[in-house]
Structure 1
Amino acid sequence: MDAVKKLDELLTVAGVTTNPTIIAKSGKSPEDVIRQFAEYLHPEQKFFVQTVSTEYKKMLEEARYICSLRPKNTYVKIPVTHTGYKAIKKLKSEGLGVLATAIYSADEAFLAALNGADYLAPYVNRMCNYGDGIGQVIDLLQMLETQGLNSKVIAASFKNAEQVHTLITAGIQAVTVPPEIAYTMIGHPGTEIAVKEFTKNWQATYGRDSLRG
């Protein structure tokens, strides 16, 4: 929560994604974590919470609970298992917001889009362990455009800022990145050097460190 608040002051944060591992590492109860984010986020910011159960009926129950947390812009994350695909179809028939997650190939994501998933979350860096993860996501973008599907891609699981840069260049709709990668993207050392130079020259000429004395 602290990291999100700090980034939200600096950048245009479109939303927050969570998963069972992230919540478990917080040291807090899942109810507290979910409640704090639901209360903090503005209505226009999206909130993504993943189901934990792998059993179909319980998965649906968890999904309905998640989508009831806020009046709008709350989405349930459903892994693309066999049970998950079935749940995505059912939940979309009920008009709920769904993000298909734990995606390791363009084909998995494409089929989730056919089932109506609003968002698709390919695990970019993990996909790279099995082949060309970046290429698979770029293929997915082309597949969605070619077939006229409305699902949007929120790429996840990044190792570095270069992966993020490549996918933004390719036209990806969104990325979800850990805070440290976001700071890498806005922390070029050349910027700090330039600002120090400006300040030094200004002080040497005017004897002060602000525009107005």
Structure 2
Amino acid sequence: MKFFVDTADIGEINELNTAGLIDGVTTNPSLIKKAGRDFKEIIADICKVTEGDVSAEVIAIDQQGMIEQGKILAKIASNVVVKLPLTGDGLKACRALTAEGIKTNVTLCFSANQGLLAAKAGATYISPFIGRIDDIHTDGMELIHHLRVIIDNYDFKTQILAASIRTPLHVRDSAIFGADVATVPPAVLWGLLNHPLTTKGLDQFVEDAKAADIKI
């Protein structure tokens, strides 16, 4: 499974890159607002330090506006993926941009039927929002499973990009149920390393090395 990091912070992206942990980046208007810089400049800078796909979201909600903004965003760098909402106009824009060879990420997916429509529209990625589904007492992982079956049944090329990831368990279960990608906040991604037995074992090794006066 590929890991994308969900952030617009260049420092966080660079730190994860040094560990070889990420394959791409996703952003949204909320993350851009938090970064406090010009939108297109941030996307350009992220693309410079990221070899994989970088999702940049349109702000228009009508078909023509999304198409025009998508073309502008796609010109920033070759690895930009245009992020579109899962609406009728969004799917029309997806079809038009895909026809021009522009990658798309259809976001705000909350049902298997929505995902099926996005795949038929030619989306490069479909983003089911796992955490938000859990918030309404529904099983987000069931959606990942249903999307995996549907996409495989009909050999769609759309990749499942598990989003709204909040815990290491979300990451683990997304991998088990066959998501192609998980987009993960930096803190959660680093949190995948944590296990009390790892910490306990390392502490014991360090203590024993000192006691044995081991030198390398």
TM-score, normalising length: structure 1: 0.91
8 A contact 2:23–2:53 mirrored in 1: yes
Identity of aligned pairs, percent? 25
8 A contact 1:88–1:115 mirrored in 2: yes
| Secondary structure in 2 matching 1:53 | coil
Q: Which residue in 2 is equivalent to 1:33? A: 42
Which amino acid is the alignment partner of residue 121 of structure 1? S
CA displacement at 1:66 relative to structure 2:
1.4
Q: Which residue in 2 is equivalent to 1:129? A: 135
Query: Matched residues in 1 for 2:85 and 2:77: separation?
Result: 22
Query: Matched residues in 2 for 1:107 and 1:91: separation?
Result: 22
Q: How many residues align?
A: 206
Query: Matched residues in 2 for 1:112 and 1:127: separation?
Result: 18
Q: Which residue in 2 is equivalent to 1:185? A: 192
Unaligned runs of 5+ in 2: 1-9
Which amino acid is the alignment partner of residue 33 of structure 2? A
| Secondary structure in 2 matching 1:164 | helix
CA displacement at 1:55 relative to structure 2:
2.3
8 A contact 2:161–2:179 mirrored in 1: yes
TM-score, normalising length: structure 2: 0.90
CA displacement at 1:67 relative to structure 2:
1.4
Which amino acid is the alignment partner of residue 122 of structure 2? G
Query: Matched residues in 1 for 2:194 and 2:82: separation?
Result: 33
Matches within 5 A, 1:1-213: 1-42=10-51, 45-71=52-78, 73-130=79-136, 131-205=138-212, 207-208=213-214, 210=215, 212=216
Which amino acid is the alignment partner of residue 30 of structure 2? T
CA displacement at 1:65 relative to structure 2:
1.4
| Secondary structure in 1 matching 2:55 | strand
CA displacement at 1:128 relative to structure 2:
2.0
Q: Which has the higher contact order (CA 8 A, sep 6+)?
A: 2
Query: Matched residues in 2 for 1:187 and 1:3: separation?
Result: 18
CA displacement at 1:31 relative to structure 2:
2.7
Query: Matched residues in 2 for 1:31 and 1:159: separation?
Result: 27
> What CA RMSD, in Å, does the superposition of the two structures yield over aligned residues?
1.4
